[in-house]
Amino acid sequence: MKNTHNNRQWFGFSEDKVFGEIMSNPAFCRHVLQGILPEIPIKKIFPPKKQEVIIDPEHRDQKDVRLDILVEDINGNLYNIEMQRSDDDDIARRMRYYASKNDQRYTLHQGYTYNDLKNVFIIFLCTFKTKQKVAIKSTYQTINVDNHADILQDGLTKIIINSNGVPDGTETETLLNLVKLMKDLPVHGDKLFDKAQKRIESMNADPEWRDTIMDFETRMLEREQVGEKKGRMEGEKKGRKEGEKKGLQQGLKTGALTLVASLKDVGCTSQQILQQLKQKYGNVFSDKQLEEFLKQS
């Protein structure tokens, strides 16, 4: 997110609602996927699903997942595309969890064999800067650690696209254009990217769309406030048994953890989240405790 020339807040491709709107266009989505995976002929895809929530009603204690973009091609391959704006040092395990949820919900139905499992591609588009130099595209598969040429054919591929990565000369033109779009830089010479950029501009110029985006971010913050209130109530209830001070402390901790989760959902960086934590809870918890909350959520 940035400011335009007239100081209005600009919502770029990496903003949650904008990303979902642009990537839900089948032609553009297929174009991007083909640019990321040139080795796989992606002739046709079914309409992408955005903000797909995977909930296991029989196990309500499990963490739910909201998929940014989920799309299947005509050959049955499944692609989960996520926009990741903050570095929470959990990308690898987050990808593992998303893959497991995709398997649980979409890839194998009763009566089928394991050979019928769909190929799954978990693709994270990351806009944050890394501590070390990385390539624009990094691909991960399950390998034999004693023989790296021996790849376990489990049908799972994880891909990280980092807009701040270093090109190595193997990137397709489409992938390089995607990186520019992730960085809110102009893209020229590609009709589908031209349409995407015009759509982003029209969304930013449309008061209703701007309200929709702002309302979404507001709801995320409201969820934090509700969680904080609930945490206080639960903590105070517990406090009547174990002591008011301890109960209130637990309520404040729950509120802090919920704040972290909400700010992560709207793409805030770890530094921004920590700053908010210090402003709200710095008089209750130490910096070390707040940093632990950031890691826990």
Do 78 and 12 sit in the same domain of this protein? yes
Containing 193, the helix (H) or strand (E) segment is helix 191-205
Do 145 and 12 sit in the same domain of this protein? yes
The string of pLDDT tens digits covering residues 53-62 is: 776 656 556 6
Q: By C-alpha distance, which of 267, 26, 9, 2 is closest to 126?
A: 267
- Give me the domain span that covers residue 237: 209-296
User: With 50 as the cut, is the pLDDT of residue 5 above it?
Assistant: no
Q: How far is CA 295 from the centre of its chain?
A: 17
- What pLDDT is recorded for position 272? 74
Do 175 and 194 sit in the same domain of this protein? yes
Q: In this predicted structure, which of 60-64, 188-192, 276-280, 288-292 has the lowest mean pLDDT?
A: 60-64
Domain edge (last residue) among 142, 175, 205: 205
Do 171 and 97 sit in the same domain of this protein? yes
Do 149 and 257 sit in the same domain of this protein? no
Domain edge (last residue) among 143, 177, 205: 205
Do 53 and 132 sit in the same domain of this protein? yes
User: With 70 as the cut, is the pLDDT of residue 112 above it?
Assistant: yes
Do 180 and 220 sit in the same domain of this protein? no
Q: In this predicted structure, which of 10-24, 236-250, 271-285 has the lowest mean pLDDT?
A: 236-250
Do 35 and 167 sit in the same domain of this protein? yes
Q: In this predicted structure, which of 144-148, 177-181, 203-207 has the lowest mean pLDDT?
A: 203-207
H helices then E strands: how many in the chain? 9, 10
Do 38 and 164 sit in the same domain of this protein? yes
User: With 70 as the cut, is the pLDDT of residue 223 above it?
Assistant: no
Q: How many domains does the chain have?
A: 2
Asked if residue 138 lies in contact with residue 160, where contact means CB atoms within 8 angstroms, the answer is: yes
Containing 235, the helix (H) or strand (E) segment is helix 207-242
Do 158 and 25 sit in the same domain of this protein? yes
Do 105 and 65 sit in the same domain of this protein? yes
Higher per-residue pLDDT: 63 or 90: 90
Do 193 and 219 sit in the same domain of this protein? no
